[in-house]
Amino acid sequence: MGHTQDLERLFGLKDVSYKANLSKDQLFDEAIANDRGRIKQGGPDTDQKAYPTKLGKQGPLVFYTDPTCTGRPVKDTFGVAWPELEDKVWWKNDFQKFDPDKFQVLLKRVGEHLNERKASLYVQDVYAGTDPEYAVPFRFTGEYATHATFVHNMFPKGIEGVADEDAKRWTLLNVPSFHADPEIDGTLSKRAVILDMKNQIVLVVGRADYCGVNKKSMFTIMNYLLPNQQHMSMHCSANVGQGGDGAILFGLSGTGKTTLSADPDRKLIGDDETAWTESGISNLEDGCYAKLIDLDKQAEPVIAAALSMAGTVIENVPAPAGKKMEEMDPQDLDLTDSSITENTRFSYPLDCNPNVSEGAKGPHPETIVLLTADAFGVLPPVSILDAKEVMYHFVMGFTSKLAGTEVGITEPQAAFSACFGAPFMSHKASVYAEGLAKKMEQHGGRCILLNTGWGGGPYGVGSRISIKDTRALLNAGLAGDLHKEGAEYDVHPVFNLKMPKSCPGVDATILNPRNTWEDKDAYDKAADKLRDMFRSTFEGKGFASLGIEPIM
């Protein structure tokens, strides 16, 4: 079925026109000419939202979101609570239930709104997933050409061999010009991101124009679909070594997932969203969506180079005072400028990376890496995990966030996000934990917990574990050195973690974190405090009832 008939069937769209599957060059012109909306607090809804740099079409498109939506609107993200799905979905604060009857009325109202406006909509037909075994046809339909460009960057095109495409297709309708009425529509505000798992629809309305909404909505859907097919859907990066050894790296923002997976000696499979099937690992995407704030161009040369490439999208980076974006070389943009948001972003195709695995696929991973950045300074730099410990640390999904930039506030904050991506996990956490344990048992994967945080004291006292040491620890883990027969370990008395006594290229004194603190009593107190946070979170989330064993 063509998109015109299909979109009329789904949304009642009769008086609209479509610009379908335009090239990125065409979308570039369309975005600058037509993408209009609010870009400043209190500003009009008629401002230009997309701009060229001095490179024109040979460079990036620069896009500004609504000032209230510089990240995912998690409190306005819902799933339609159809009776047959209610017990299957993991409902939580950032994925709440939406009334099915209200949703049907809202869909009709959005369709009428677009018909009345005689809207011109952009359509991009892509896929979620690089492997035809599970790939899902995905049709983006929306008011902004920038969003269509983003989808073109981020999702695979032309996947051959996907059976029954019309039946599998998901459709996302993105309508920033429609402002919901909470009293009529059952929303919490004038915006909403609503996933209908039964009818394969995503509806985005109101001031929710952050580009990442179009990506993470589909990731949430794939996290629902793939476990039902006995596949693993994972918030992780992946790469493959020269000897054909695959690896996956789980981690929350700031733990090094993207940086550590970009390794000149290993081919990149993907940096964020990965599937693990009977045939191996593969990327769910065809692009990267990198944070730009404070980017070190020497440490991240791929992202730095891609900033000047055609067809990419820079999000919420301002032009310097007194300059027009049209006059700027992308390399001269101030990437430390957080005046719009700390969450400045950049979307670019995967092939901007010079070292990508063919087809963004690889073999079953030999090494699973759980990344954490412990700003309390008490976890070992590397630990060896057995199957039970993997499930525990996987569902806990611990890292820490720095308390912010206020003077005198240096106390870190613990962050726990189940499966290293709780907001996007549509099933309960145990589904993914059991899936990971099963895959590891089937394919003999080994696992390390790699801490990229602090040593010698907490943030503000100690120092960040050097990237050189982290790389050496990771390389030893990938080579199997930390698991080989005869390797010696200490067991941490508080966290029950196996800590290797030695590692090639690393000073052995840092491997037991207590050794690096001058004040041993302070270390013991800090370790006990973090252990208690783990315990209370484990109890509060009810993980024991899901069959996860507490290990500390």
Decide if 38 is catalytic. Answer: no
CB of 35 closer than 8 Å to CB of 146 = yes
Number of Cβ within a 10 Å radius of residue 294: 11
What would the 3-class secondary structure string for 298-316 be? CCCHHHHHHCCCCCCEEEC
**The one catalytic residue among 169, 345, 361, 427:** 345
**The one catalytic residue among 70, 130, 217, 258:** 258
Q: Which of 292, 320, 482, 294 shows the shortest CA–CA distance to 385? A: 482
Residue in the block written with tokens 């915006």: 191
Tokens of 180: 């919901």
**The one catalytic residue among 191, 216, 364, 498:** 216
pLDDT in tens, 90-111: 999 989 999 999 999 999 999 9
Q: What amino acid occupies position 528?
A: D
b (16+ CB within 10 A) / e for 54-63: ebeeebbbbb
Outline where DSSP puts E strands in 209-293: 232-241, 246-250, 266-270, 273-277, 280-283, 287-291
Q: Biggest alpha carbon distance in the chain? A: 73
**The one catalytic residue among 72, 215, 439, 492:** 72
Decide if 294 is catalytic. Answer: no
Number of Cβ within a 10 Å radius of residue 358: 9
Decide if 72 is catalytic. Answer: yes
**The one catalytic residue among 253, 308, 502, 537:** 253
Residue 249 sits at φ, ψ, to 5 deg, of: -125, 105
**The one catalytic residue among 38, 152, 169, 257:** 257
The pLDDT of residue 519: 96
Decide if 216 is catalytic. Answer: yes
148/178 Cα distance (integer angstroms): 18
Q: What amino acid occupies position 551?
A: I
Decide if 272 is catalytic. Answer: yes
Cα separation values, 242 from 266, 324, 364, 372, 504, Å: 6, 46, 14, 26, 20
pLDDT tens for the chain, 552 residues long, are: 689 999 999 999 999 999 999 999 999 999 999 999 999 999 999 999 999 999 999 999 999 999 999 999 999 999 999 999 999 999 999 899 999 999 999 999 999 999 999 999 999 999 999 999 999 999 999 999 999 999 999 999 999 999 999 999 999 999 999 999 999 999 999 999 999 999 999 999 999 999 999 999 999 999 999 999 999 999 999 999 999 999 999 998 888 888 898 888 999 999 999 999 999 999 999 999 988 998 989 888 889 999 999 999 999 999 999 999 999 999 999 999 999 998 999 999 999 988 999 999 999 999 999 999 999 999 999 999 998 999 999 999 999 976 443 334 456 789 999 999 999 999 999 899 989 989 999 998 899 999 999 999 999 899 999 989 999 999 999 999 999 999 999 999 999 999 999 999 999 999 999 999 999 999 999 999 999 999 999 999 999 988 889 999
**pTM over 0.85, yes/no:** yes
Indicate the helix (H) or strand (E) that contains 138.
Answer: strand 136-142
482/198 Cα distance (integer angstroms): 46
User: Which ranges constitute the DSSP H helices of 418-496?
Assistant: 429-443, 467-479
Indicate the helix (H) or strand (E) that contains 388.
Answer: helix 387-396
Residue 336 sits at φ, ψ, to 5 deg, of: -90, -5
| Domains of the chain in sequence order | 3-32+73-228 (3.40.449.10), 232-277+364-546 (3.90.228.20)
**DSSP label of 116:** H
**The one catalytic residue among 191, 207, 231, 235:** 235
Q: What amino acid occupies position 434?
A: E
CB of 113 closer than 8 Å to CB of 142 = no
Rg (CA), the chain: 24
**The one catalytic residue among 272, 337, 374, 469:** 272
pLDDT in tens, 324-344: 999 999 999 999 999 999 899
